[in-house]
């Protein structure tokens, strides 16, 4: 079996091994693949892996031997799943490799907003503490989280992990999810979405990007939130209308935002969020600790192994 990885660099920039995939067939790994070269690079391969390189209906039409598409991520909107199903191509994803890493990063964004650790460290290195007439100083208000309310939109695996961390910090956690579950009730109080907006000191997005969630955070919903709310999004960039968030940051309606995703990635230099005050933006790295990428690699290989054995798992286009 010929196996092609179209964009392997972000998953494995050199600190992991592709050996488990290579054991399943003749493996070719490309660091990146321009859209124009996708059909050519897939060629007569029977299995292809992609992270963010689109596989379209047109590409599938040029690859009749293709039987399997493995997405090296949880989100799979970069694959035309309907066209794949019509062509008899199985598409799988990796739903649970980065749960703890993404939850940890959501908390890291929040704590950075609360303490501005990096900027205060820079100030010390610049000599400002040495020159200070007092024994301490701070440039930003310091925020204690205990007793405050975190509202989590999307209480799946990652949302639950974030909720447990927030509860350990002494926060009250409320949540909105289309499918409440017993595990969620143990950690959070399910509330209607408007109640979450009204009650939360911190709003955290952990929901999938769907037609009904695209643009969820916009001028209308921001108006329903507390003045001075904190927004955390390391889920999907298009959940937020960026111009509306920038406007809310400028007015003070939103005190601060911590974002690890953007509507277009990489974020364009013209994005209004790059000029917004008190807006932390990181380059989509919540998922990227070596430990979670190792899990991703192992699950990716197992997905193909199960498919070859006639027992496909994590199928998203059944």
**Which string of DSSP letters, residue by residue, matches 135-175?**
S---SS-----TT-EEEEE--SHHHHHHHHHHHHTT-EEEE
284 noted as active-site residue: yes
Q: Which residues are CB-neighbours of 262 under 8 A, at least 6 positions away? A: 237, 242, 271, 273, 281, 284
Instruction: Please pick, among 41, 157, 206, 284, the residue that the annotation labels catalytic.
Output: 284
> Which tokens is 305 given?
């192994």
Of 74, 78, 72, 76, give the one whose Cα is nearest residue 96.
74
265 catalytic per annotation: yes
Catalytic residue among 265, 275, 277, 290: 265
List CB contacts of 176: < 8 A, sequence separation 6 or more: 151, 152, 153, 154, 155, 190, 191, 192, 193, 196
298 to each of 16, 75, 304, how far by Cα in Å?
11, 18, 10
Question: Which residue's entry shows tokens 């999307």?
Answer: 154
Q: Has 236 been annotated as catalytic?
A: yes
- Report in angstroms the alpha-carbon separations of 22 from 19, 32, 36, 169, 305: 5, 18, 26, 44, 11
Q: Which residue has the tokens 């108006």?
A: 223
Question: How far is Cα 102 from Cα 260, in angstroms, rounded to an integer?
Answer: 10
d(CA 241, CA 188): 27
Residue 200 to residues 151, 169, 195, 228, Cα–Cα distance (Å): 5, 15, 8, 10
Rounded to whole angstroms, the Cα distance separating 118 from 170 reads: 24
Active-site residue (options: 116, 206, 236, 293): 236
Residues labelled catalytic? 236, 265, 284
């Amino acid at each position: 079996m010929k196996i092609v990885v179209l964009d392997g660099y972000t998953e494995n920039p050199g600190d992991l091994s592709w050996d488990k995939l290579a054991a399943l067939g003749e493996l070719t790994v490309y660091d990146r693949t321009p859209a124009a070269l996708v059909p050519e690079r897939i060629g007569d391969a029977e299995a292809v892996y992609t992270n963010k390189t689109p596989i379209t209906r047109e590409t599938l039409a040029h690859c009749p031997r293709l039987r399997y598409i493995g997405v090296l991520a949880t989100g799979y909107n970069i694959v035309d799943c309907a066209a794949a199903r019509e062509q008899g191509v199985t598409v799988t994803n990796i739903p649970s490799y980065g749960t703890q890493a993404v939850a940890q990063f959501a908390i890291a964004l929040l704590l950075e907003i609360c303490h501005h650790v990096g900027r205060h460290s820079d100030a010390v290195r610049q000599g400002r503490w040495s020159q200070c007439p007092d024994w301490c100083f701070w440039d930003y208000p310091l925020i204690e989280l205990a007793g405050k309310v975190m509202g989590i939109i999307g209480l799946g695996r990652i949302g639950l992990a974030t909720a447990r961390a927030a509860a350990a910090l002494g926060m009250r956690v409320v949540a909105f999810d289309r499918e409440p579950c017993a595990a969620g009730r143990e950690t959070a109080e399910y509330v209607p979405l408007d109640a979450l907006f009204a009650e939360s000191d911190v709003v955290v997005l952990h929901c999938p990007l769907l037609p009904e969630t695209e643009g969820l955070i916009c001028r209308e919903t921001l108006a329903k939130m507390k003045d001075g709310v904190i927004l955390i999004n390391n889920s999907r960039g298009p959940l937020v209308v960026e111009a509306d968030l920038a406007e809310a940051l400028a007015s003070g309606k939103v005190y601060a935002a911590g974002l690890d995703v953007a509507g277009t990635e990489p974020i364009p230099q013209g994005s209004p969020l790059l000029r917004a005050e008190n807006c932390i933006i990181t380059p989509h790295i919540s998922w990227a600790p070596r430990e979670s990428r190792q899990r991703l690699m192992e699950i990716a290989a197992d997905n193909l192994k199960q498919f070859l054995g006639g027992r496909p798992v994590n199928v998203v286009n059944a």
